[in-house]
């Protein structure tokens, strides 16, 4: 037993030694969220990465998030506990295919969701997150037609909110597309007092039943402020850790219900573990690197997003 590593203590010591900052997404396992310097959604994490004074950024999230941190901090080392931590949305929008798709709409203003590869970002005019997608699209010049990628469900939600017509890349998230309308209705019958809060990456039939639709941070803020005591949460289950921390007296029900099914957990996000986090800091690998020309091309639309989000 004495040989066991106290990962939390070791990580804190390595953080001081490396002058490192640990950024973690809400969908990470609870132990990683607890050891992180900053926990947030994609927009907040991008903003934190852009402002950090640390020499090393350790990104506990998925590949595209670490890429974003590197693009915004070309001179810093960016570590990712597991390079295989990808994203179904990003994978479903290959750069070669996206380039061909984009060429069909040469005059369109390209708004790409942050859940995309650096190569897709480099082909975009501006990036958005679920937190700021409506705000970003509202700032696209009214005389420009819009191409939105890669999440079609978020795109449809934004079209409804803004009244802007958009050409949508037909992508979706494997976690958010599995939520069943039938199962959600059954949950509502079982919990008649509960409010339903849902992420806009969910399919339209599911969103129709939501009392509140918002980004991961939006959902967290809403349930903490709401006078209601019971919530059905329709997004990746990792956010429940912060909800329970912020309002321990309230009840949070993951959709689908907790019946042994882990299909409401992102398999990519869960590749990161405390042991991998410790080892990546100890060995300073795996490191996220990108060609300088790609970083430069992707930086402009990311910077525009940060400017338009203020």
Cβ neighbours of 83 (radius 10 Å): 15
Q: Is 42 assigned to a binding site?
A: yes
First to last CA, the chain: 51
Q: How many CB atoms lie within 10 A of CB 250?
A: 15
Residue 87 is labelled as binding a ligand:
yes
Nearest to 176 by CA among 148, 157, 195, 190: 157
201 is in an annotated binding site: yes
3-state SS assignment for residue 119:
helix
**Nearest CA-CA partner of 163 in 144, 138, 143, 139:** 138
Tokens of residue 79, six digits? 């570590």
Query: Does 216 belong to an annotated binding site?
Result: yes
25 known member of a binding site: yes
- Cα 267 from Cα 257, distance rounded (Å): 18
226 is known to lie in a ligand binding site = no
63 assigned binding-site residue:
no
Interacting residues of 114 by C-beta distance below 8 A, sequence separation 6+: 42, 43, 46, 64, 65, 68, 127, 128, 129, 305
Binding site as annotated, residues: 25, 42, 87, 113-115, 130, 173, 199-201, 216, 266
Binding site as annotated, residues for iminosuccinate: 25, 42, 113-115, 130, 199-201, 216
Binding site as annotated, residues for [4Fe-4S] cluster: 87, 173, 266
């Amino acid at each position: 037993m004495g040989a066991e590593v106290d990962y939390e203590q070791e990580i804190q010591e390595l953080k001081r030694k490396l002058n490192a900052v640990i950024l973690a997404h809400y969908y990470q396992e609870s132990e990683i969220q607890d050891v992180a310097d900053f926990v947030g959604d994609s927009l907040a994490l991008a903003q934190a990465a852009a402002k950090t004074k640390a020499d090393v950024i350790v990104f506990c999230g998925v590949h595209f998030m670490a890429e974003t941190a590197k693009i915004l901090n070309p001179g810093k080392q960016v570590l990712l506990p597991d390079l295989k931590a990808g994203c179904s949305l990003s994978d479903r929008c290959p750069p070669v295919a996206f380039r061909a798709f984009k060429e069909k709409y040469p005059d369109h203003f390209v708004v790409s969701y942050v859940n995309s590869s650096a190569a897709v970002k480099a082909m975009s005019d501006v990036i958005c997150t679920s937190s700021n997608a409506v705000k970003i699209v509202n700032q696209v010049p009214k005389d420009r037609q819009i191409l939105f990628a890669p999440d079609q469900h978020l795109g449809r939600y934004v079209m409804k909110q803004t009244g802007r017509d958009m050409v949508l890349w037909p992508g979706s998230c494997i976690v958010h597309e599995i939520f069943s309308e039938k199962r959600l209705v059954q949950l509502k019958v079982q919990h008649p007092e509960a409010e339903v809060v849902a992420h806009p990456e969910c399919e339209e039939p599911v969103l129709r039943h939501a009392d509140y639709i918002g980004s991961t941070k939006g959902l967290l803020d809403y349930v903490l402020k709401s006078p209601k005591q019971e919530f059905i949460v329709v997004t990746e289950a990792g956010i429940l850790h912060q909800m329970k921390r912020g309002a321990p007296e309230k009840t949070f029900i993951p959709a689908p219900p907790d019946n042994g099914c882990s299909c409401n957990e992102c398999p990519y996000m869960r590749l990161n573990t405390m042991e991998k986090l410790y080892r990546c800091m100890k060995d300073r690998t795996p490191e996220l690197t990108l060609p300088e020309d790609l970083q430069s091309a992707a930086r402009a639309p990311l910077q525009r997003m940060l400017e338009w989000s203020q």
